Structure 1
Amino acid sequence: MEPQFWHDRWTKNEIGFHKSDANPLLVKYFTELALPKGSLVFVPLCGKTLDISWLLSNGYRVAGAELSSNAIEQLFAELGVKPTITRNGEIDRYHANDIDIFVGDIFDVTRTMLGPVDAIYDRAALVALPENMRSRYTSHLTAITDHAPQLLVCYQYDQRAAEGPPFSISHEEVRRHYGERYHLTLLTSADVSGGLKGKCSATEHVWLLRRG
Structure 2
Amino acid sequence: MTGRDNALWLQFWRDRRTDFHQIAVNSLLAQFWPSLNMAHGSRVFVPLCGKSLDMLWLAEQGHQVIGVELSEVAVKAFFKENRLRPVRRRLGKFTLWRSGRLSILCGDYFALTAAELGQIDTVYDRAALTALPEDIRGQYVSQLRRIVPDTATILLLTAEDLELEPVSDETDDVSDEVIALYGKDFVIELSHVQRIDEADSQAFAAGEAGLYKVFHLSSKTPSQA
- Calculate the TM-score normalised by the size of structure 2: 0.83
Q: Which amino acid aligns with 1:185?
A: E
2:39 equivalent to 1:36 = yes
Q: Shift of residue 124 of structure 1? A: 3.1
Runs of 4+ in 1 over 3 A off after TM superposition: 156-161
What root-mean-square deviation, in Å, do the aligned CA atoms of Structure 1 and Structure 2 show? 2.1
The answer for the alignment partner of 2:212 in structure 1 is 204
Is 1:149 matched with 2:153? yes
Stretches of structure 1 lacking an aligned partner (at least 5 in a row): 162-169
Q: Report how far residue 137 of structure 1 moved.
A: 0.5
Instruction: Judge conservation of contact 1:18–1:49 (CA < 8 Å) in 2.
Output: yes
Match of 2:223 in 1: none
2:130 paired with 1:127 = yes
Letter in 2 for 1:205: K
- Answering whether residue 193 of structure 2 is matched by residue 185 of structure 1, we say no
- The residue matched to 1:42 in structure 2 has which SS? strand
Q: Is the 1:46–1:124 Cα contact (8 Å) retained in structure 2?
A: no
Q: Distance in 2 between matches of 1:109 and 1:132?
A: 20
The structure having more radius of gyration, on CA atoms, is 2
Contact 2:121 2:153 in 1 (8 A): yes
Following superposition, the deviation at residue 121 of structure 1 comes to 0.4
Contact 2:92 2:116 in 1 (8 A): no
The share of aligned pairs that are identical, in percent, is: 34
Which amino acid in structure 2 is aligned with residue 84 of structure 1?
V
Match of 1:53 in 2: 56
- Whole-Å Cα distance in 1 between the matches of residues 184 and 154 of structure 2? 14
Does structure 2 conserve the Cα–Cα contact (< 8 Å) formed by 1:184 and 1:209? yes
- Residue 202 of structure 1 deviates from its aligned partner by 4.8
* In 2: Cα distance, 1:194 partner to 1:126 partner: 25
1:18 alignment partner in structure 2? 21
Please give the alpha-carbon distance, in whole angstroms, between the structure 2 residues aligned to 1:39 and 1:104. 23
Q: What's the CA shift for 1:32?
A: 2.0
> Which residue of 84, 88, 113 corresponds with 1:85?
88
Q: Distance in 2 between matches of 1:206 and 1:155?
A: 9
Unaligned 5+ runs, structure 2: 166-173, 221-225
Distance 1:159 1:135, change over 3 A: farther
Q: What SS does the corresponding residue of 1:2 show, helix, strand or coil?
A: helix
Instruction: Say yes or no: does 1:101 pair with 2:104.
Output: yes
Deviation at 1:203, TM superposition (A): 2.1
Mapped partners of 1:209, 1:67: distance in 2:
25
Deviation per CA, 1:34-60, whole angstroms, max 9, x where unpaired? 101111110000011110111111111
